[in-house]
Amino acid sequence: MQSPIQAYLDGLHAQLARMQGGEVANYIPELTKADPSWFSICLVTMDGAVYSTGDSAQKFTIQSISKPFVYATALADRGVKFVAGKVGVEPSGDAFNSISLDPKTGAPLNPMINAGAIATASLVAGATPEAQWQRIVDSMGTFVGRDLDIDEDVYRSESDTGFRNRAIAWMLKNFGIIDGEPMASLENYFRQCSILVDCRDLAFMAATLANGGVHPLTGRRALPLEHVERVLSVMATCGMYDFAGSWVYEVGMPAKSGVGGGIIAVLPGRFGIGVFSPPLDPKGNSVRGIEVCRHLSRDFDLHVFSRAGDPSMALGRIYTADQAPSKRQPSPQMRRYLNDNAHRIKYLCLHGFLAVDGIEYVIRRMIEMAADSSSFILDMHQVDGISESAARLLNDARLRFAGENIAVVFSRIHRRHAIKHFLSTTSPKNDRGYLSFEDNDLAVEWCENHLLGDLAMPTPDPIALVDCPLLRGLPPELLAQVDKAATVQCYRQDESILTTGQAGDGRVFFIADGHVSILVPLKNGAHQRITTLGPGMSFGEMALLGQTTRSATVVADGEVRCWVLEANDIDRLARDAPTLRIVLLENISRDMAEKLRRATQWIAALA
């Protein structure tokens, strides 16, 4: 099944691919060769799942997106204090190539503008410029998760025409920001900008930062954790240069753009995003890239000042209906089928506030299990709430699964209107709405019926009293006497047959037609169904053990016909035939053992 997240990205790509406007960078001649129609989007999760669309394999030069990663490397190599003495962390509000230096110290205002980046390229570890270059390309490779190369043509093209940057480098030397040979550092800067990446690489670089400095797939640490927030802070305030204010206001994600057409955006602890499309706006940012991030932020509630959490915490226990079947007494044929297939019904216990990242994780796990599933029960008992975007994705997934005859139902939403509201208002027009059950027992019974199909509604064969399991093993002449002593009682739908706490009157009931639910009262006034009984089953038999009050309420689920045996009739018959009581007690014990086994199953599953 296609993930709704993938479907959303495909749709967004199709919508924005039609966008015109912007110009491919031309001040570095080689960059003019880029195709303005190139366009890709990639999103990577904290456990390395990749969603990508468009020209995601198209390579391009990383340009300024390299800057936060070289800054990170300088922090790791030289420490915060030393680097802070060379490069500030203040937004300049100027263009990326402005010569924004501190008037007193000559230090560049921040590491995202060219001046700051050229300075940080000189700060990474290495006794020689060659060693420093190796350090830069190795460090970048750890963020990407593979070895990197540069585009020699772009490098040569920029080195031959980068006069403004040469002037900046000499000024940095003049102010003692660059200690060594400034042109060597500048060449390393040109090389870092010429590193070849694709959109997936960008998303993994962003995801590594989002993941506390650890690459989600390789597991290698690219940056000590204590520096991650420093890099993200500078990206948030300076990453988009003189568009930084609008960016934080409208998109709200630490980001970095490059004149090659790339943009990365980072959602700490949630996602890494990469976008690529060469046409740039006058500030040097990808026109389509900006729009993609605006949409993602709005549609997925990704603004960094909105809620966040560990996505996998959205999903707690997963167990199956063969561990926790419904409490009804299925027919032997149904039981045989359920014994072999109930594992295809999955319970997923959801937790906390469900945002897009959490729901993405839940949906992905459901997709992974889909091949061996007929239905999913989303237990909402411990869910605090759900964002509109997450509810929309969940409804989308529910309909997609329905298209594959996999049911997604909810249980235990109870009266939480905020959850019901978003699940209802984000249901697509053509949707009949979601199914929600008060408790898991009702939910799993529905799912069993969904699994059983025609088997679920067997037309129960007529059962004679003498064939009821509770009377199994009685000799024929005794059965005939019991049959004669029994009376017939009929009940209407929802009629209470027995009530919890009611004085025991010694009657034992055998169901001839219809179904009854056995209920126990809950503190909140509701009732929990313990089981459903059908033809041939009996209830009230505890009266035979001298029970004084009824332990449960029994309600007719529809029209019900019962045979009723009075305890004193049974006593009378047993006086002449002690076998009767022995056989009854043996059958009751066997039935109780089965009920105890099923109860133990449930308790184990819920433990």
Q: Which residues are documented as binding site for substrate?
A: 64, 114, 158, 165, 189, 241, 259
Q: Which residues ranging from 140 to 169 are in contact with ligand DON (CB under 6 A)?
A: 158, 165
Burial of 265 (0-12, 13-18, 19+ CB in 10 A): buried
Of the residues 64, 139, 257, 436, only one is catalytic, namely 64
* Cβ proximity to ligand DON, 97 vs 142, nearer residue: 97
Minimum Å gap between C-beta 241 and ligand DON is 7
- Decide if 589 is catalytic: no
- Structure-derived torsion over alpha carbons of residues 159, 164, 165, 166, reported in degrees to the nearest 10: 70
Q: Which residues ranging from 252 to 271 are in contact with ligand DON (CB under 6 A)?
A: 257-259
Asked if 63 is part of the footprint of ligand DON (rule: CB under 6 A), the reply reads yes
Of the residues 67, 86, 327, 346, only one is catalytic, namely 67
* Cβ proximity to ligand DON, 190 vs 361, nearer residue: 190
Of the residues 89, 154, 259, 554, only one is catalytic, namely 259
**Annotation: binding site:** 64, 114, 158, 165, 189, 241, 259
Report in angstroms the alpha-carbon separations of 178 from 114, 173, 181: 14, 5, 8
Q: Work out whether the CA dihedral 124, 130, 131, 133 comes out positive or negative.
A: positive
- Decide if 71 is catalytic: no
Q: Are 253 and 308 in contact (CB under 8 A)?
A: no
Contacting residues for 153 by C-beta, under 8 A, at least 6 apart: 30
Q: Which residues ranging from 166 to 225 are in contact with ligand DON (CB under 6 A)?
A: 193
- Decide if 256 is catalytic: no
- Decide if 241 is catalytic: yes
Minimum Å gap between C-beta 98 and ligand DON is 11
Asked if 284 is part of the footprint of ligand DON (rule: CB under 6 A), the reply reads yes
Minimum Å gap between C-beta 259 and ligand DON is 4
- Decide if 420 is catalytic: no
Minimum Å gap between C-beta 101 and ligand DON is 16
Minimum Å gap between C-beta 202 and ligand DON is 13
293, amino acid identity: C
- DSSP single-letter state for residue 101: B
Contacting residues for 138 by C-beta, under 8 A, at least 6 apart: none
Q: Which residue is nearest to ligand DON (CB)?
A: 64
Minimum Å gap between C-beta 284 and ligand DON is 4
Q: Are 22 and 286 in contact (CB under 8 A)?
A: yes
Identify which range of 137-145, 204-212, 251-259, 521-529 contacts ligand DON by CB under 6 A.
251-259
- Taking the C-alpha atoms of residue 286 and residue 199, their distance in angstroms, rounded to an integer, is 13
Report in angstroms the alpha-carbon separations of 453 from 87, 434, 442, 446: 69, 20, 17, 11
Asked if 243 is part of the footprint of ligand DON (rule: CB under 6 A), the reply reads no
10: nearest Cα among 21, 2, 19, 20:
2
Total chain residues near ligand DON (CB under 6 A): 12
Q: Which residues ranging from 7 to 46 are in contact with ligand DON (CB under 6 A)?
A: none
- Taking the C-alpha atoms of residue 435 and residue 320, their distance in angstroms, rounded to an integer, is 19
356: nearest Cα among 292, 411, 298:
298
Q: Which helix (H) or strand (E) holds 192?
A: helix 182-193
Q: According to CB under 6 A, which one of 40, 45, 52, 97 is a site residue for ligand DON?
A: 97
Binding residues (CB under 6 A) for ligand DON: these are 63-64, 96-97, 114, 158, 165, 193, 257-259, 284
Residues annotated catalytic, as ranges: 64, 67, 189, 241, 259
